[in-house]
A = this chain, B = another copy of it.
Amino acid sequence: MIGFEHMKKISRTSPSRIVLLIIDGIGGLPHAKTGKTELESARKPNLNRIARDSLCGLIDPVSPGITPGSAPGHMAIFGYDPVKYNIGRGVVEALGMDLELKPDDIAARGNFCTVDDRGIITDRRAGRLATEKNTELCRLLNNIAIEGAEISVLPVKEHRFVLVLRGKTLSPELADSDPQQLGLAPKKIEALLPQAQRTAEIANEFVSQARSRLQHESPANMVLMRGFSRRPDIPSLPEIYKLKPAAIATYPMYRGLARLVGMKVLPGGDSITEQLDSLRGYYADYDFFFVHFKSTDARGEDGDFQAKVQAIEALDDALPNLLSLDPDVLIVTGDHSTPATLAAHSWHPVPFMLKSKWCRPDNVAEFSERACLAGGMGRFPATEIMPLAMANALKLDKFGA
């Protein structure tokens, strides 16, 4: 794609509306018995109807063979080079807590863990602690005071927490303390650049005080830190594309990612039906909508093929409410594949379709991995989606004389 500096020059506002429906983890692999993927197995008349009027294809969120985390998967679809704009683990966790990070804040992902008498890690997750216990322990650590940084410790689920260091002249250039294996002691946190020396001292002091406060706890008697990072400096969608974008997502992390790129986060409810009702309610107020559907990914990660098929069918049933809005541009795709047979995110390209008055339809009549292969876009990088969306909404001027 052309660079943001060029895109800024040719983008323009117009009354047309773009709806981007991201079906998390939608791509799959064939079931051993039927030879059909989850999408190929699902009854999905509405998705197929959209496919018949659409420009179809398959996206590579990062590049062939690379399995994306949720953050790069979404960043690529939002038009950001997912390698250049890779977001640190700590920041992703903080976004997932609906935390508003300031530009200078350093966030890190923490695990409560178990160490033996010699300080050797025996359980990296402290027996997947109950979230209530986690909350109690975080309260214990939250009032640790260290000169030079304001410290916040926030519980996530089970053994997970987020550490936020707020202060001037802090640096995120720190190595992890988490050795990511058993039988070793947690590592001292090292500064990766000289200017991170003081921040490393603060982080190590935090770990040391946390260990003292946790010494009589069992099994959570220690912490492991990783992914020290700062919110990246990202040009926003309004800056690049002159859009007024909004997000409707039930999970906090996706709301956080949306906020990071300049979207307004709208109330959504817990089900796709409520999300699409919200879309309808706010339809007049924005010109770009990101709607995030989660359960396809969750069922894929569970390894439950049939449940993932049902999630697709439930989504399909809800679509008429979206279709009746008749968006100028409707894009349906996913941030990555989550084949139930793998029970994990995967590297496989993800079905994509774009419907607009100005798309050049191809001969694809079904929304599935194999059918989309014959689509007009073929296989292509996810970062090309935003320029295509803008073009089909007639929101781009000509490039060059």
Contacts and interface: CB of A to CB of B under 8 A. Distances in A.
Interface in A86-120: 86-89, 92-93
A6 interface: yes
Interface residues of A, number: 62
Q: How many copies altogether?
A: 2
A80 to B, nearest CB: 12
A182 to B, nearest CB: 17
Interface in A32-70: 37, 62-70
A63 to B, nearest CB: 5
Contacts of A373: 362, 374, 376, 378
A15 B345 CA distance: 21
Contacts of A227: 401
A63 B400 CA distance: 13
B361 A30 contact: yes
Interface stretch (A121-129, A216-224, A290-298, A388-396): A388-396
B401 A2 contact: no
A379 interface: yes
Given A6-B83, A396-B347, A401-B92, A64 B378 contact: no
Contact of A388 (B65, B68, B83, B384): B65
Contact of A2 (B83, B377, B379, B391): B83
A199 to B, nearest CB: 20
Interface string A169-203: 00000000000000000000000000000000000
A25 interface: no
A205 to B, nearest CB: 26
B29 A66 contact: no
